[in-house]
Amino acid sequence: MNNNNTNTGKTIYMKEWFYRKNYSGYGEYAQHFCSVQKETEKAFQVRLYSLESAYTHICWVPKSCTVATEEEFAAEITGAEQRQAEFEARRQERYEEACKAYAELIAYAQKMGVKGVREGLRRETIERKIQNAGYPLPA
């Protein structure tokens, strides 16, 4: 193993997705930046700083999950925020479509006179009640 310690003491930044996946649950480690302690060909051993105490945490971070400058980090955060906003918009759209389909299923069952169908029942239960009443499921 080739130790290349040219970056020892340098501050690096973890990519947003890697930080969120591995360290955001720690709470006290609210910082994306860390100090390089050791370096190998593929990873940095870093020291994470605590905002709440003098305690620090040492761990290994793959080099592919880091950025070197504050500008790269800012671009990474902006990209992560944009991806998160797009994800939330798609999730909201899927939720609204599912609510609409559920309301249409309830309306269909009530129109057909299926007994016991009300809002709050699981979709599978409503479909079973429709089939048990002898009606086809709507397309």
**What residues make up the domain containing 128?**
90-132
Q: How many whole angstroms separate alpha carbon 44 and alpha carbon 85?
A: 31
Name the nearest CA neighbour of 48 among 2, 98, 14.
14
Say how many C-beta atoms besides its own lie within 10 A of residue 98's C-beta.
11
**Does residue 77 lie within any of the structural domains?**
no
Asked if the structure places residue 80 within a domain, the reply is: no
* CB-based contact 129:112 (threshold 8 Å): no
DSSP 49-85: EPSSSS-EEEEEEEGGGEESSHHHHHHHHHHHHHHHH
Per-residue model confidence (pLDDT) at position 133: 95
- How far from chain centre, in Å, is Cα 11? 26
Nearest to 58 by CA among 44, 41, 69: 44
82 assigned to some structural domain:
no
Report if pTM > 0.75: no
Q: What is the pLDDT of residues 43-89, one digit of tens each?
A: 999 887 766 656 677 889 999 988 877 787 788 778 878 888 999 99
Residue 37 lies in a domain: yes
